[in-house]
A and B are shown apart, each in its own frame.
Chain A
Amino acid sequence: MDCHLDVFFLEALINGLLLAGLLALLALGLNLVFGVIDVVWICYAELVMVGMYGIFYAHKAGVPFVLAAVIGIALCAAAGVLLHMLVIRPVLDQAPINQLLVTGGVLIFLQAAATMAFGIEFKNLGIRLGSVGIADMSFSWSRILAFGIALAAMLALWIFLTRTYTGTAIRAIAQDRQIMPLMGADARRIYVVTSAIGAGLAGLAASLMVLQYDIYPQIGLQFGPLIFMICVLGGLGNMIGGFIAAFIISQFIAVGSSCFHTEWGYAVAFLFFMVAVLIRPQGLFGAKS
């Protein structure tokens, strides 16, 4: 398909915007964990996959969708706490790259475990929310819902981080890991809470994604690299930066995919990412160190 400034192009732009909300939510969880614990969870997208399966099976067992989503979020949060206590905590003193690689082991483990437990078939929740048509353009409700909830969740997290004691302690730890424990903030507890929230956000994203995508064990590989890219582009640990970067990247994907084949949209996004990072290594919105 050729590129024209027509209604299809506008549709692609708006769909890109809607996708950005979801990607921003995903990047937010990863950024929170990185900002506070200083660890990159390479397996973040696999936590989302776990959440999606949790919601799928809960819904299949007769649980209403909203409750199933809550179960999925709780499942992810629990998985995040386990991940931190069993895998991250023993390597906290090791070189940063080992912390990244150990979660790579978790990635392989979770994918294989999902393949063994659930098989490689694509699974679909079977809920159709329909779509809304505006002037020859059509947008699915599931995307609009995902966008709205993602924004609401980000706002809620912001209020939590700025208005509560625990939130303030989390931000303080992120700023200085050495001093804050002396000031009475329990770093071990804060790490666990942060892991739970970060993974819980993955669960929330999972509940929005099961409405749009099929579930299969390798789904994490499809958007995992995108999330890292968004986080690095926005400056690792910089939540506002990640938010803006999500919008930039998703427009590359949406517009690129509508003009060429899907993979060229992604390829251009990755190329843009590499060039951008090589020009501004601290991320587009990071402070100069």
Chain B
Amino acid sequence: MKLTSPASIAAFGGLLLVPALIRIVFPDSEKYYLHLLIQILLWSFIYTGWSLMGRFGLTSLGHGAFTGIGAYGCVLFWNFAGLSPWLGIPVSIAVAVAVSLLIGYPCFRLRIAGHYFALLTLALTEFVRLCIVGLRDYTGGSLGTQPKRAADGISFYALQFEPDRWLSYYIALALWVFGLWVWLRVDRSMDRYALDAASQDEDAAASVGVNVTREKLKITALSAGLCALGGAIYGQYQMYIGPDTIAGLGVSLNMVFAVIAGGLWVPLGPTVGAIFTQVLTEGLRVAIQGSATLKATLGSAALALDQLIYGLLLILFIIYMPKGILGTLMERRARKKAGKPAAPGSAEPAPG
């Protein structure tokens, strides 16, 4: 996939026209559909950021910490220091990257991987969430907080755009394209080959001159930085941040699972994962709201139905479809084209 190929450019052109299309087709619920799309694009960007690391076997459960640092850093600088997000976001990203390096360096030097890496980064997520809750005088504790609203809610200086859904959509779209561009840049770089090698055999990679620690740190910093940026923009769009909506273990797990559901080794995998999870949640909500019988039988239990199905699907995905929705589809298509089954293990590195 190339961003500058005619097909890609046509696709982006199409995405630019989507708000106009929605205005024509759903004039009454334009805001709702745009909101759904913005959510998908913003989460896709965050998931793409996570997948940069995840695809090389660095399964981090710590990225909820980075989105949290990005979102809270941006809002706290604005609310308490009057610092514009244009400065606050870069500072927050720098903090997130510094934290990721602080954890990453000893991990990669000591070759902490697999379970230990996942559980250690899980502790980082919990630590950051507890700090957010603990600093309740500034962060609003577990209730969350809001950025101070600039005059009418739309301001370049305050980077607030939530009331204008068209503007929000284009900002989210730009961010998403940026994420995709980074993913493809990484995919074509020498670092990608070094990291692929290191994820399969660290000693062998090191013996042919790959500085494994350095490569892993580079991708970790990039991944953490993108997630911090995504968290910050998400907070600016929602105009609300809470320790469980943009930080914490739930967010970390969602990232991992959405990417696995979508496909870890394909550029649009995280996006498919985000579409899948958002549409599942919204679709079920609408279906239950729309059907009197379902509403009556399920009652308040309906609130957890999407999570129930989600959890079940994740189990099934990991057992039967570890390459995810898009990964599996693309593999099938490639196999059909070639007219023969793909040689086992030739296409992608083994998961993990």
Residues of A within 8 A of B (CB): 40, 87, 90-91, 94-98, 100-102, 104-113, 115-117, 119-120, 217, 221, 225, 228-229, 232, 236, 260-261, 263-264, 266-267, 270-271, 273-274, 277-278, 281
Contacts and interface: CB of A to CB of B under 8 A. Distances in A.
Given A117-B301, A229-B119, A278-B107, 10 more contacts: A100-B115, A105-B317, A105-B318, A109-B312, A111-B311, A217-B304, A225-B123, A266-B130, A278-B120, A281-B111
Interface in B315-332: 315, 317-319, 322
A285 to B, nearest CB: 15
Contacts of A97: 57, 59, 114-115, 118, 351-352
Interface in B262-319: 298, 300-301, 303-308, 310-315, 317-319
B303 A273 contact: no
A108 B318 contact: no
A263 B133 contact: yes
B187 interface: no
Given A87-B315, A261-B134, A274-B127, A108 B307 contact: yes
Contact of B112 (A87, A115, A264, A281): A281
A142 to B, nearest CB: 26
Contacts of A229: 119, 123
24 contacts: A40-B119, A90-B319, A95-B351, A95-B352, A96-B352, A97-B114, A100-B118, A101-B257, A102-B315, A105-B315, A105-B317, A108-B307, A108-B311, A113-B308, A116-B301, A217-B304, A221-B249, A225-B249, A228-B119, A263-B130, A266-B126, A278-B110, A278-B112, A281-B112
A281 B133 contact: no
Nearest to A103: B315
A112 B305 contact: yes
Contacts of A278: 103, 106-107, 110, 112, 120
Contacts of A115: 301, 303-304, 307
Interface string B98-115: 000001001100111011
A235 B250 CA distance: 25
Given A94-B351, A112-B308, A225-B249, A267 B130 contact: yes
B319 A91 contact: yes
A119 B123 CA distance: 29
A277 B120 contact: yes
Contacts of B123: 225, 228-229, 270, 273-274, 277
Contacts, number: 151
A160 B92 CA distance: 53
A98 to B, nearest CB: 5
Interface string B229-240: 000000000000
B87 interface: no
A119 B352 contact: no
Interface residues of B, number: 51
A195 B18 CA distance: 52
A96 B115 contact: yes
Nearest to A224: B249
A236 B115 contact: yes
A47 to B, nearest CB: 14
A232 B119 contact: yes
B257 A109 contact: no
Contacts of A217: 304
A103 to B, nearest CB: 9
Contacts of B106: 278
B350 interface: yes
Given A87-B319, A97-B57, A104-B256, A267 B131 contact: yes
Which 9 residue pairs are nearest across A and B when measured between Cβ atoms?
Answer: A95-B352, A109-B311, A105-B314, A108-B311, A112-B307, A115-B304, A112-B308, A116-B301, A267-B130
A111 B306 CA distance: 12
Contacts of B250: 221
Nearest to A221: B249
Nearest to A231: B119
A133 to B, nearest CB: 31
Contacts of A270: 123-124, 126-127, 130
A263 B134 contact: yes
Looking at B111, B120, B123, B134, the one whose CB has the most chain A CB atoms below 10 A away is B123
Nearest to B256: A101
Contacts of A266: 126, 130
B226 to A, nearest CB: 21
A221 B315 CA distance: 19
A15 B115 CA distance: 31
Nearest to A87: B315
A101 B259 CA distance: 12
Looking at A221, A273, A278, the one whose CB has the most chain B CB atoms below 10 A away is A278
Nearest to A109: B311
A87 B317 CA distance: 11
B116 interface: yes
B197 interface: no
A22 to B, nearest CB: 19
A254 B316 CA distance: 40
